[in-house]
Amino acid sequence: MPELPEVETIARFLAAEVSGRIILRSEVRWPRAIACPSAQEFAQQICGREIRSVTRRGKFLVLALDEGFLLVHLRMTGRLLVCDAARKDACATPFNDAHTHVYLYLDGDKILRFRDVRKFGRLYLVQDPAQVLGELGPEPLGPDFTAAALGDLLRGSRRLLKPFLLDQRRIAGLGNIYADEALWRAGLHPLRRSDSLSAAETERLHGAIQDVLREATAHGGTTMRDYRSADDAPGQHQWSLAVYGREGQPCPRCGETIVRMVVQQRSSYYCPHCQPAETQAGRGGR
């Protein structure tokens, strides 16, 4: 499930592979993969466009075109793959399979394709990226995301910490894995209320979010099952996870058994010892 580090890894790879290339033609095999405009308009409008750059905003890939923007959200199992036209039948991931929904044929005999087993991912072709990205919160590794800024966000919310961290309108780019890892690093229980954090706890959470995202990006992301970069390479951060997916295993910090619970329909993994529900002051979740 691509979150910020995975999308960043893909963006960096794609930037080197497709920047400056012209989209000669496209093929949309599953129209619903195109969120906007219609699949027909998409095919017409994208033809002849030059890809100027590939960057990331939150969990979105942002392909700046000479005219407009192609935005891609991979959701759970979406992938963008590049290959040489001459070697398309030798791809590690089958070139022609039922899960590949959009093909973009580029100059220089390159092909960029969108594949998604679960069909949750979407492509957006827009003039103004704010149409899609406008509601996103700050970039957690950007200059605006200071501990003070996080404090303001936290004080403005009465939600539980875990759903707070997953809300892309508050912070853009965290998903289930890194939210759990950040909470563990900060020693904060997922059910703490956002506006209950002390200044020291806010500071810890801020550092934890940035550290885990930087480390995971340096590792090329986390591959639990499906994630691969655009060159089919898996990430390596799964070997460094402290709590996510580790129910029943010992906490790397204290040895206590990691617990899984469901918070708002989502798995949450935490260490009951390192992330106590009760605060020092004696109040708190449960």
Partner DNA sequence: ACACCCTCCTGGAGGC
Partner DNA sequence: TGCCTCCAGGAGGGTG
Active site residues: 2-3, 59, 266
52 or 75: whose CB is closer to DNA?
A: 75
119 or 253: whose CB is closer to DNA?
A: 119
How far is it, in rounded angstroms, from Cα 82 to Cα 230? 6
105 or 176: whose CB is closer to DNA?
A: 176
Q: Tell the smallest beta-carbon distance from residue 158 to DNA (Å).
A: 4
- Virtual torsion, Cα 139, 144, 147, 152, nearest 10 deg: -90
Determine whether 248 is exposed, middle or buried from the number of CB atoms within 10 Å of its CB (0-12, 13-18, 19+): exposed
Q: Tell the smallest beta-carbon distance from residue 123 to DNA (Å).
A: 14
**In sequence order, which residues have a C-beta less than 8 Å from that of residue 87 and are 6 or more positions away?**
none
Site of interaction with DNA (CB under 7 A): 1, 32, 58-59, 73, 75-77, 98-99, 117-120, 157-160, 163, 166, 168, 175-177, 194, 264-267
Q: Tell the smallest beta-carbon distance from residue 179 to DNA (Å).
A: 8
What is the H or E stretch that residue 249 is in?
A: none
Q: Among 135, 143, 145, 150, which Cα is nearest to 188's?
A: 150
How far is it, in rounded angstroms, from Cα 216 to Cα 212? 6
13 or 60: whose CB is closer to DNA?
A: 60
Q: Tell the smallest beta-carbon distance from residue 94 to DNA (Å).
A: 12
